[in-house]
Amino acid sequence: MDYETLSNCFVACFEHYKTNEKKVFVVHNLRDNFNEFIMFLQQNKQKREWHISFNGLAFDSQVTQHILNNHTKWSEYDACGKAVQIYKYAQDCIRKQDKKEWQQYPQWKLDIGQIDIFKMNHWDNPAKRSSLKWIQYSMDWENILEMPIHHTTEIKTMEEIDLIIEYCLNDVRSTKEIFKKSVSQIKLRKALTDRYDINLYSASEPRISKELFAYYLSQKLNMEKREIKNMRTHRDVIKLEDIILSYIKFTSPEFNHLLDTFRKVKLKGDNLKGSFKHTLVYKDVKTDFGLGGVHGARTSGVYKSDDEHIIITSDVVSFYPNLAIRNKWAPGHFPKQEFCDQYEWFFNERKKIPKKDPMNYVYKIILNSTYGLSNDADSFFYDPEFCMSITVNGQLSLMMLYEMIMTRIPGAVALMQNTDGLETRIPRQYYDEYMSICKEWEQITNLELEHDSYQQLILADVNNYIAVNNFKEVDITTWREIRDQNPHYLFKVAGDKFMYAPVKMKGRFDFHELQLHKNKSKLVVAKGVYAYFINGILPHDYIQSNKNILDYCIGVKSKGDWKQVARYIKDGTFTEDNLQRVNRYYISKKGVKMTKVNEVDGREIQLESGKWLQTLYNKMVVKPKWEDYDINTGYYLEEIESEINNILSVPSNQLKLL
């Protein structure tokens, strides 16, 4: 469902979640469905029917409840007068959202049940914030249509009303599509709601973590949940020397200097962000340290296992949660033993449950979210010293393992270090020694490592790479399931043996099952890089084979004072059109020049600098022939070759000779 509230017109659109049945209500003097709309809402209430929305808890549901509570008072108004009353309240809801104030009606006061897929997916979080338009782009929606009429406009014609309805129905249908993609998550939240008697239908993963941890802690501590939710520990100063574990020791001057640097740090407890950074070069690898984690990688290249060498990847099992559990760390306002016992219970319970069981996922959420929430002042886990104890000792502990491997295994080559694990290329003859070192580290830290090996690591940097695991043998049924779900893996059959090799793609090389809030622009580039390194297909040949127009598309959004314009020559005259805030386009041989313009100071940024032109593709149109799209393949070919050359460290004109 979705509402459109304009100064003298109200439109409400609904579509049944299982069928194509639609309901459209207009409140305006040219079309007045107000009474039918009230009857529909009352039916929803009586039959306990739910509304599924995008940002409905903060807006649509508030408007719904306001209408249900006040519609009898509006009998003296004509249709446009009623629309004005709705509009005024809607604007008040928007102002409260902008000021981050509480809305008038909390969820428990709403007469009609709500599933808010915006809240559920945590798209209200600053790090993941996404509008419905951006999600439409991300899921390749057919029509990225922004409201063509400003909300302050006085509506005077049926043509305007029809345009508003078209826009509203487009949003409803796209919301329904997101709902379909979220069915498993909604079923999980329904099961949790029924099990714990907490309304979690619209809960984000962090909120699930908070609610369920509070549920169990209230029982363990014999405290009311509301009392637990009000608890916090604030710190004025955090001295890192006071929280570094006694077992953290190094032998090399580089890491001893790092340890001394950490020990001298004093942090302001109420403002940790960006307050500590350090860079270290060890064994030709640059490694960056901060308050959140450690990241380091060798120079770009393709690193392979062979008869003489093997690439091993080692990750700490549930690293940050287990650091807290094993060292009896807890937020300062909780008893250590009880908190850690409960935290460990989640960890142990998860190990008992198959990965396919939704509760395995729930316990994973709880384990991973708790650390992050410990640095969130709005969370009852808040204690920045608890947070720093985990991240600082996590980095230093991992560096201990890194140093032990590099100093004790001749010929070891460090490839990557990333928050909770390491990738290292070692001579095969030292494999047992490697495992022995890892076992020794586990005994020192009381943590657990899990290991795998790569055929090859195609590395641009620590955040962007492709890793190909060694082949694993499975039965034919499992093999087929994995093949259907992960077409980018490698598969082979040898006699009666069915084998697959997982392929991990990170950062800008990832094109499989991307999260909807992320930018999926130019997937043809990531796929072209994959085709070159994994299948040996030259970029030119790959470009010729890819006929999916959406793989060539690019998404762009504007915020704040920035707007987008399209500039072009029409009939010999320079023309400029204002564009939407979210647009989908591709690079074409003919087209327009898209530019971001700051409406305050006039600054301009070309979306594609230089000679490249663009074709807007907000409304998806299937062309009769591929050539009709007029794609400038030269642009995409340059992008693919640039990525490959960066990895291979060869001049840009050398690729075709390889």
C-alpha pair distances (Å), 48 with each of 40, 41, 42, 114, 440: 12, 10, 10, 10, 59
Any domain includes 81: yes
Residue 581 sits in the same domain as residue 466:
no
Residue 494 lies in a domain: no
Q: DSSP character for 619?
A: B
- Per residue in 407-426, pLDDT (tens digit) is 999 999 999 999 899 999 99
Please say which residue of 196, 222, 254 terminates a domain. 196
Q: Is residue 72, in this structure, part of any structural domain at all?
A: yes
Which string of b and e fits 233-249 if b means at least 16 CB within 10 Å? bebeebebeebbeeebe
Q: Which domain range does residue 583 map to?
A: 523-657
- Residues 552/526, Cβ–Cβ less than 8 Å: no
Is residue 251 located within the same domain as residue 300? yes
**Are both 575 and 460 inside the same structural domain?**
no
Cβ-Cβ contacts under 8 Å for 169 (sequence gap 6 or more): 13, 15, 22, 24
In a domain, 485, yes or no: no
In degrees and rounded to multiples of 5, residue 156 shows phi and psi of -125, -15
Q: Are residues 413 and 321 in the same domain?
A: yes
The residue with tokens 């006061």 is: 109
The DSSP line for 537-599 is --HHHHHHH---GGGG-EEEE--TTEEEEEEEEETTEEEEEE--SEEEEEEESS-BEEEEEET
84 and 166 co-located in one domain: yes
- Least Cα distance to 286 among 408, 394, 414, 458 occurs for 414
Residue with tokens 């962090």: 206
Which pLDDT score, from 0 to 100, does residue 311 have? Answer: 98
Laid out side by side, the sheet with 593-598 consists of: 573-578, 562-570, 593-598, 604-606
One domain for residues 404 and 275: yes
List the chain residues with pLDDT less than 50.
652, 655-658
Same domain, 71 and 12: yes
Asked whether the beta carbons of 165 and 171 are under 8 A apart, the reply is: no
Q: Which stretch of DSSP H or E encloses residue 188?
A: helix 183-196
- Cα–Cα distances in angstroms (integers) from residue 584 to residues 518, 589, 627, 636, 657, in the given order: 14, 17, 19, 16, 35
Would you state the pLDDT for residue 513? 79
Which ranges of 23-59 would DSSP assign to H, the alpha helix?
34-46
Identify whether residues 159 and 29 lie together within a single domain: yes
Domain stop point among 470, 500, 535: 470
Q: Do 241 and 192 belong together in one domain?
A: no
Beta strands in 470-526 (DSSP E): 472-474, 490-494, 497-501, 503-506
Contact 531, 557 (CB under 8 A): no
* DSSP code at position 655: G
The structure's pTM equals: 0.92
Looking at residue 146, its pLDDT comes to 92
Distance set, CA 513 to CA 128, 401, 488, 554 (Å): 16, 33, 11, 17
CATH number where 390 lies: 3.90.1600.10
d(Cα 463, Cα 297) in Å, to the nearest integer?
A: 9
Task: List all residues 6 or more positions away from 142 whose beta carbon is below 8 Å from its beta carbon.
Answer: 619, 620
214 part of a folded domain: no
Asked whether residue 189 is domain-assigned, the answer is: yes
DSSP structure class, residue 72: G
Instruction: State the Cα–Cα distance between residues 55 and 122, nearest whole angstrom.
Output: 11
d(CA 635, CA 611): 10
Work out how many domains the chain is built from and give that number: 3
CA angle 438, 319, 200 (to 5 degrees): 155
Q: Say whether both 589 and 462 belong to one domain.
A: no
Residue 547 lies in a domain: yes
Is residue 578 domain-shared with residue 629, that is, in the same domain? yes
Residue-wise pLDDT for 553-602, tens only, equals: 999 999 999 999 999 999 899 999 999 999 999 999 999 999 999 999 99
Q: Assess contact for 468 and 456: CB atoms under 8 A.
A: yes
Q: Which two tokens stand for residue 165?
A: 């309805």
Tell me if 203 is assigned to some domain: no
Burial of 522 (0-12, 13-18, 19+ CB in 10 A): buried
Together in a domain, 132 and 38? yes
